[in-house]
């Protein structure tokens, strides 16, 4: 088996982090034989409504969720940087910190279908690979610009992601869990049980803080 060298970069609002996120990160870690996955909570995510939990609460929930997996970690650089969170700035920083490592930006197909709205999207392959994952309930509908971008960089070889440090787009079909943070927040607001969707420690934290009521 190839040496584990690649680093997964998994950004999100994580309001809250849920088992769908953890399952996704685990699947990508295993299928791409990554060395690590860095979870990166966004400070001010664009293209969506502002988070309900505070930045500190979202970071804490991600810490609680990944604590038992040694190859997962929380990177709070977007929160420390403050202001709008742009993944391109994050990738520039991480590339400087890990000049030799393959980087794999992990995004769901729901995000990839809006990728042309991300600042610096065309430059991202010069910093990282992009791993686009399927998500149950979301179709892969891409406009012509994103399709062109995909075909320019697409690979179906996992070894490209291991041998090159950046530059490729890989579509990864996975069995994902049909869960979203929006649904979880809605259920909590209605007083419904969300235990099955969350790591236990995250559920306990939400209850202690009275979040999403």
How far apart, in whole angstroms, are the C-alpha atoms of residue 158 and residue 171?
A: 10
Tell me, residue by residue from 143 to 182, as one string, x for binding to ligand ATP by CB under 6 A and - for no binding: ---------------------------------xx-xxxx
DSSP 3-state helix, strand, coil percentages of the chain (rounded to 5)?
Answer: 45, 15, 40
If binding is defined by CB under 6 A, does position 115 make contact with ligand ATP?
no
How far apart, in whole angstroms, are the C-alpha atoms of residue 83 and residue 179?
A: 28
How far apart, in whole angstroms, are the C-alpha atoms of residue 6 and residue 18?
A: 24
Nearer to ligand ATP, 110 or 201 (CB): 110
CB 128 within 8 A of CB 105: yes
Closest CA to 93 of 73, 78, 112: 78
Cis peptide before 141 (omega within 30 of 0): no
CB of 174 to ligand ATP, least distance (A): 7
3 state DSSP class of 124: helix
Can you tell me which of 20, 167, 199, 203 binds ligand ATP, judged by CB under 6 A? Answer: 20
Can you tell me which of 8, 9, 15, 75 binds ligand ATP, judged by CB under 6 A? Answer: 15
If binding is defined by CB under 6 A, does position 24 make contact with ligand ATP?
yes
- Cα separations (Å) of 2 from 33, 34, 159, 171? 8, 10, 9, 20
Nearer to ligand ATP, 47 or 96 (CB): 47
If binding is defined by CB under 6 A, does position 59 make contact with ligand ATP?
no
CB of 123 to ligand ATP, least distance (A): 19
If binding is defined by CB under 6 A, does position 16 make contact with ligand ATP?
no
Nearer to ligand ATP, 90 or 133 (CB): 133
Can you tell me which of 61, 105, 107, 206 binds ligand ATP, judged by CB under 6 A? Answer: 107
Residue 5 φ then ψ, to 5°: -125, -30
Can you tell me which of 55, 76, 93, 110 binds ligand ATP, judged by CB under 6 A? Answer: 110
If binding is defined by CB under 6 A, does position 111 make contact with ligand ATP?
yes
CB 91 within 8 A of CB 107: no
Q: State the residues that interact with ligand ATP by CB under 6 A.
A: 12-15, 20-21, 24, 48, 107-108, 110-111, 133, 135, 176-177, 179-182
């Amino acid at each position: 088996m190839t040496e584990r060298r690649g680093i997964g970069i998994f950004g999100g609002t994580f309001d809250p982090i849920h088992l769908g996120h953890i399952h996704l990160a685990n699947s990508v870690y295993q299928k791409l034989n990554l060395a690590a996955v860095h979870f990166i909570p966004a400070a001010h995510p664009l293209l969506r409504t502002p988070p309900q939990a505070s930045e500190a609460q979202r970071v804490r929930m991600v810490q609680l969720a990944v604590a038992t997996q040694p190859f997962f970690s929380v990177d709070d650089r977007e929160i420390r940087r403050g202001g709008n969170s742009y993944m391109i700035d994050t990738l520039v920083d991480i590339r400087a910190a890990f000049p030799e490592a393959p980087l794999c930006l992990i995004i769901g197909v729901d995000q990839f279908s809006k990728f042309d709205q991300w600042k610096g999207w065309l430059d991202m392959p010069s910093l990282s690979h992009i791993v686009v994952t399927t998500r149950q309930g979301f179709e892969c509908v891409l406009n012509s610009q994103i399709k062109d971008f995909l075909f320019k960089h697409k690979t179906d070889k996992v070894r490209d992601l291991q041998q090159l440090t950046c530059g490729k787009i890989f579509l990864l079909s996975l069995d994902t869990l049909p869960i979203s943070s929006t649904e979880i927040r809605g259920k909590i607001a209605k007083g419904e049980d969300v235990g099955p969707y969350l790591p236990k420690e995250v559920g306990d934290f939400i209850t202690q803080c009275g979040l999403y009521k």
